[in-house]
A and B are shown apart, each in its own frame.
Chain A
Amino acid sequence: MALLVFLGRLADVAGAGQRAVEPGPLAEVLTTLPPALAIALLDERVRIALNGELVSEPEAIMLEPGDELAFLPPVSGG
């Protein structure tokens, strides 16, 4: 399995901070999610990190077993 991690308000949309999914191309993984969550994850302001590294071309992501993919909405710190 691979792990999706949802930060900030995305955790509320997902109903949990993380979710285990079958590995595969990201586009296919997204089709297995509830539509409202998939739409929220595809927001252009949401950044994506694969195994702790920011990804600039998420379209090309292929999830392998054990991978961790984090969805990072706009930040608000300080």
Chain B
Amino acid sequence: MIDVRLLDQSFNPGQLAGLFSQAHPGLGGVCTFVGEVRGEGGVEALELSHYAPLTLPGMKALAQRAAVRFDLMGILIVHRTGVMLPGEPIVCVSAAASHRRAAIDATDFVMDHLKSDSWFWKREKKGAGWTWIEPRGDDYAAKERW
């Protein structure tokens, strides 16, 4: 099952990952990653914007690539947009496969591509104002591993 969602409201990653796992009886391994808004460095809020004609179609294409490449039984990608506070989940990726390594690698692969290859723009609020976050060199380097 390929399940890709773009949400503008807070979500419960554990609940989604639990349902996803239950939907794949007979799986050998499921690997789930949850990214949250960091509370360090005085960040008060994070805002993610997207471009509807590209963002969700791009996430679906990424899910398809991961499913084929790692021979997955299923893949779940959930990504937030809008304003989030520290501690709120931003992203949840869960991959189900017959074997452990495929599930772990697929989750890692999807996260590296979401970071540097998907149509999201991030800015953070500290004190007086908002600052756009530029992609980091190691985000690109992480993607090059694949």
Residues of A bordering B, CB below 8 Å: 5, 7-9, 11-12, 49, 51-52, 54, 68, 70, 72-78
10 shortest interchain CB distances as A-B pairs: A77-B120, A52-B53, A8-B121, A78-B115, A9-B132, A76-B122, A78-B114, A77-B118, A76-B133, A76-B135
- Contact between B51 and A77, CB atoms less than 8 A apart: no
- Contact between A8 and B49, CB atoms less than 8 A apart: yes
Q: With A8-B49, A49-B51, A52-B54 known to touch, is A77 a contact of B114 (CB < 8 Å)? A: yes
Given contacts A9-B132, A74-B134, A76-B133, 13 further A-B contacts (CB under 8 A): A8-B49, A9-B121, A54-B54, A74-B135, A75-B120, A76-B115, A76-B120, A76-B121, A76-B135, A76-B139, A77-B48, A77-B79, A78-B118
Residues of B bordering A, CB below 8 Å: 35, 48-49, 51, 53-54, 79, 90-91, 111, 114-123, 132-135, 139
Chief secondary structure at chain B's binding surface: mixed
For the complex, give the distance between the alpha carbons of A51 and B51 in Å: 11
Chain B proximity of A53: nearest CB distance (Å): 8
- CB-based nearest A residue for B90: A78
For the complex, give the distance between the alpha carbons of A70 and B53 in Å: 10
- Contact between A5 and B51, CB atoms less than 8 A apart: yes
Q: With A5-B51, A52-B54, A72-B51 known to touch, is A78 a contact of B35 (CB < 8 Å)? A: yes
